[in-house]
């Protein structure tokens, strides 16, 4: 009987183990090459994503009906929206901004989750079920930490994290001083990181500081695994039941590609996305995707030498690739009060990695090496692909993957936890994404009109949720600026109704001054939970106290593009909602100062935004050494 139980246990684990790193460590290892090509042209989504999408549609069709019923919408039959020939696709996008973005975003995400409980143990007063109804969820930098924490922990809930049922996000000690006063714990932490990256180097792969940073992040975000995620890969998600059964949205992380040995990032920089199946870009500079599972395989013009590699796509390394700017935290180790023994160990770690470009993730071999599909010689002619923090081009909300017409996203809920002014958002990320469509890199996509950053503040568009692109017919003039070429995944059949409506929600204070520094590296549980609570209030319009119709208005945004395609008239309820939340094109471009004292109605001119945790000097020592980075605006620390 004992032998039977042991055999059963082993068999039950096998499907999970076979899709992790083949070496069962941080090191990639050799595997059998796939029967299909590793590279493909980016003129569509992958066959794997398309197949997964068909299964997810069956789930979200039902969940959208449930949400519309919960929203108490009038003059529509929610059941009609579960019987569509073309499913409604909802995208969620969470901005960067360090732990501030992760924790505020966590509260915002919890407001969309039907699993979140209210204070009395019943249902919370938010947008319950919108998460379950969503098709895609994208994160960038700190937003990738949020999405990764949830996705890589079997699609856990923020509720379970707060209740310690999913034991992650122990932020009491800085990620640099992981053990606090427990020197032995900190030593073991760094020794483990050192051993992990040694494994990768000994396997023949070049290291970067992002390897160290990614392993450090994993100790906070993937701590439920025995090895703190050392052997967990992004592509392993393909074989998890929660993903195979379509019980979660499709996760996407965003980074920027940068030419080797340069520091230049601009609006034309290549955007790289990572998803469970692939890594690559829809931008014409690359216009290719590589199978995620086989990153690390040496390719020339898309062909292997007969040997393939798996395990390169470590989950922590991918999250680190989207937030590589924080590599600076590792380099400043001598400014800390750590013991000399630990500092010596860390110095040995840093000797092993390339610090010439200390804010990059090194992907070597480059999967797009010597290909002639993309237009960028910097990428195709280098055997190394260098990737940097996804917010360095100023597009701090990962909208671009969700605006690709091949994904047919109808509405995007964009959560902005950037640090544009006094660590509050001012809409700058949206202005960057809007401008990008007019460049060659924009590749023919359409993004709705948005105002300048002064208008965002002066009209209180960051103090409450704001809808952009409410009437698709008003976007027709943008069609004139499309630059469709052989490097586009669009066709002449693409119309203004395929441009998603944007629901923009910015961080603001309700119960907590949530504009903490991007470089705060530690939070006690009370601070952590207060940030999460405030994020919930931001997304729920303060527990629906500011607008009891808020769920219905969100429902109106969800069904808007479908109504427009079908020529349907909006209900009176939806017309009222759009009057409240849609930007009507009005501009107020005057420059004013001290505009971030928030009230229920919006902002006032008298500044009171630095009280409490607003300025947050708790981590002033960290902010001081990173202050020089802040002036480098092209880094997009937002």
How does pLDDT run across 316-333, given as a tens digit for each residue?
999 999 987 765 555 455
Instruction: Give the pLDDT score at 131.
Output: 98
Find which of 111-115, 321-325, 360-364 is predicted with most confidence, using mean pLDDT. 111-115
**Which SS3 state, helix, strand or coil, does residue 434 take?**
helix
Per-residue pLDDT tens over the stretch 239-267: 999 999 999 999 999 999 987 665 556 67
**Contacts of residue 584, Cβ cutoff 8 Å, sequence gap at least 6:** none
Confidence class of residue 637 from pLDDT cuts 50, 70 and 90?
very low
Mean pLDDT of the chain: 87
CA dist., res. 318 & res. 125, Å (int) = 34
Residue 614: its pLDDT value, please?
37
Per the model's pLDDT, the better-predicted residue between 10 and 347 turns out to be 347
- Ranges of beta strands (E only) in 4-161 are 29-31, 39-41, 90-94, 136-139
Lowest-confidence region among 92-106, 529-543, 624-638:
624-638
What's residue 329's pLDDT? 54
Q: What is the mean pLDDT of residues 67-92?
A: 95
Q: Measured between alpha carbons, how far is 342 from 349 in angstroms, rounded to an integer?
A: 11
Distance CA 260, CA 364 (A): 12
Pick the range with the lowest mean pLDDT from 209-223, 318-332, 527-541, 586-600: 318-332
Which of 55-59, 119-123, 296-300, 551-555 is the least confident region?
119-123
Rg (CA), the chain: 23
- Lowest mean pLDDT, pick from 75-79, 378-382, 569-573, 613-617: 613-617
Look at residue 488 and tell me whether its pLDDT is greater than 70.
Answer: no
pLDDT digits (tens, 9 = 90+) for 448-468: 999 999 999 999 999 999 999
The two structure tokens encoding residue 430: 């949206």
Using the 8-state DSSP alphabet, how is residue 59 labeled? H
Residue 589, burial from CB neighbour count under 10 angstroms (0-12, 13-18, 19+)? exposed
579 pLDDT higher than 70: yes
How far apart CA 352 and CA 553 sit, in angstroms, is 54
Is the per-residue pLDDT at 274 higher than 80? Answer: yes
Residue-wise pLDDT tens digits, 532-564? 999 999 999 999 999 999 999 999 999 999 999
Mean pLDDT of 368-372: 96
Q: What average pLDDT does the segment 116-143 reach? A: 95
* More reliable by pLDDT, 397 or 445: 397
**How many CB atoms neighbour CB 52 within 10 A?**
21
The region that residue 585 occupies, defined by phi over 0 for left and psi between -120 and 50 for alpha, beta otherwise, is: left
Residue 56 makes CB contacts below 8 A (sequence gap 6+) with 135, 246, 249, 250
Nearest to 449 by CA among 424, 479, 419, 426: 479
What's the rounded Cα separation, in Å, for the pair 5 and 14? 14
Q: Tell me the residue length of the chain.
A: 638
Q: How confident is the model at residue 613 (pLDDT cuts 50, 70, 90)?
A: very low
For the residues 383-395, what does the mean pLDDT come to?
89
Q: Between 425 and 347, whose confidence is greater? A: 425
- Binned at pLDDT 50, 70 and 90, residue 619 comes out as very low
Tokens found for residue 138: 């994208």
- Percent residues over pLDDT 90 in the chain: 70
Q: Is the dihedral of CA 51, 52, 53, 58 positive or negative?
A: positive
More confident residue, 469 or 628: 469
Give residue for tokens 């945004």.
Answer: 557
Residue 621 has pLDDT above 80, yes or no: no
**pLDDT above 50 for 339:** yes
Per-residue pLDDT at 476: 86
Q: Please compute the mean of the pLDDT values over residues 567-580 and round it to a whole number.
A: 97
Mean pLDDT, range 195-224, rounded to an integer: 95
The mean pLDDT value for 365-385 works out to 94
Note the pLDDT of residue 337: 55
Q: Which two tokens stand for residue 572?
A: 């009176």
What's the pLDDT band for 636 if we cut at 50, 70, 90? very low
- In sequence order, which residues have a C-beta less than 8 Å from that of residue 228 and are 6 or more positions away? 192, 215, 218, 219, 222
Instruction: Assign 5 a pLDDT band (cuts: 50, 70, 90).
Output: very low
Res 342: pLDDT: 57
Please give the average per-residue pLDDT across 275-280, as a whole number: 98
CA distance linking residue 343 with residue 331, whole number of Å: 11
- Does the pLDDT value for residue 6 go beyond 50? no
Specify burial of residue 201 (Cβ count, 10 A radius: 0-12, 13-18, 19+). Answer: middle
% of the chain at pLDDT higher than 70: 83
CB 250 within 8 A of CB 275: yes
Q: Residue 343: its pLDDT value, please?
A: 60
355 or 131, greater pLDDT:
131
Q: Where are the alpha helices (DSSP H) in 484-599?
A: 525-539, 550-566, 572-581
């Amino acid at each position: 009987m004992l032998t039977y139980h042991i055999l059963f246990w082993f068999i039950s684990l096998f499907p999970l183990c076979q899709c992790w790193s083949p070496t069962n460590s941080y090191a990639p290892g050799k595997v059998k090459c796939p029967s299909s090509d590793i590279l493909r042209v980016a003129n569509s989504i992958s066959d794997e994503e398309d197949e997964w999408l068909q299964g997810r549609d069956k789930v979200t069709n039902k969940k959208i009906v449930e949400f519309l019923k919960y929203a108490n919408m009038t003059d529509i039959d929610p059941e009609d929206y579960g019987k569509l020939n073309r499913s409604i696709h909802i995208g969620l996008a969470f901005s960067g901004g360090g732990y501030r973005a992760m924790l505020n975003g966590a509260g915002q995400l919890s407001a969309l989750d039907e699993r979140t409980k209210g204070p009395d143990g019943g249902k919370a007063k938010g947008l319950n079920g919108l998460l379950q109804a969503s098709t895609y969820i994208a994160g960038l930098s700190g937003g990738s930490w949020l999405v990764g924490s949830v996705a890589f922990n079997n699609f856990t809930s923020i509720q379970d994290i707060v209740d310690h049922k999913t034991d992650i996000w122990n932020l009491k000690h800085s990620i640099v001083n992981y053990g606090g006063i427990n020197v032995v714990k900190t030593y073991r932490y760094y020794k483990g990181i050192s051993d992990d990256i040694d494994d990768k180097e000994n396997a023949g792969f070049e290291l970067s500081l992002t390897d160290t940073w990614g392993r450090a992040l994993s100790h906070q975000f993937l701590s439920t695994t025995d090895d703190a995620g050392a052997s967990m890969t992004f592509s392993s998600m393909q074989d998890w039941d929660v993903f195979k059964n379509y019980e979660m949205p499709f996760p996407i992380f965003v980074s920027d590609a940068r030419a080797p040995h340069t520091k230049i990032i601009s609006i034309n920089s290549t955007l790289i996305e990572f998803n469970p199946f692939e890594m690559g870009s829809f931008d014409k500079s690359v216009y290719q995707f590589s199978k995620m599972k086989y990153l690390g395989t040496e390719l020339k013009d898309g062909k292997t030498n007969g040997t393939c590699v798996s395990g390169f796509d470590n989950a922590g390394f991918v999250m680190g690739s989207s937030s590589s700017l924080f590599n600076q935290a590792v380099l400043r180790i001598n400014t800390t009060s750590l013991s000399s023994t630990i500092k010596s160990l860390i110095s040995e770690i840093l000797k092993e990695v390339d610090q010439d470009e200390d804010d990059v993730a090194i992907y070597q071999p480059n999967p797009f090496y010597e290909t002639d599909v993309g237009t960028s010689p910097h990428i195709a002619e280098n055997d190394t692909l260098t990737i940097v923090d996804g917010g360095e081009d100023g597009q701090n909300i990962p909208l671009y993957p969700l605006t690709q017409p091949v994904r047919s996203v109808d509405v995007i809920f964009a959560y902005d936890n950037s640090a544009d002014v006094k660590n509050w958002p001012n809409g700058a990320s949206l202005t960057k994404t809007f401008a990008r469509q007019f460049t060659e890199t924009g590749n023919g996509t359409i993004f709705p009109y948005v105002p300048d950053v002064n208008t965002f503040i002066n009209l209180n568009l960051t103090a409450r949720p704001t809808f952009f692109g409410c009437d698709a017919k008003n976007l027709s003039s943008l069609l004139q600026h499309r630059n469709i070429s052989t490097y586009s995944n669009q066709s002449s059949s693409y119309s203004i109704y395929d441009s998603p409506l944007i629901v923009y929600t910015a961080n603001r204070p309700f119960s907590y001054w949530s504009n903490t520094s991007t470089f705060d590296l530690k939070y006690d549980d009370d601070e952590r939970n207060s940030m999460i609570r405030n994020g919930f209030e931001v997304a729920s319009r303060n527990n629906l106290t500011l607008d009891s119709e808020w769920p219905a208005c969100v429902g109106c945004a969800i069904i808007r593009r479908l109504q427009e395609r079908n020529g349907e008239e909006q209900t009176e309820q939806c017309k009222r909602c759009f009057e409240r939340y849609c930007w009507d094109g009005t501009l107020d471009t005057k420059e004013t100062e001290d505009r971030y004292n928030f009230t229920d109605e919006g902002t006032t001119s008298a500044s009171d935004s630095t009280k409490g945790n607003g300025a947050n000097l708790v981590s002033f020592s960290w902010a001081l050494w990173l202050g020089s980075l802040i002036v480098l605006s092209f880094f997009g620390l937002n």
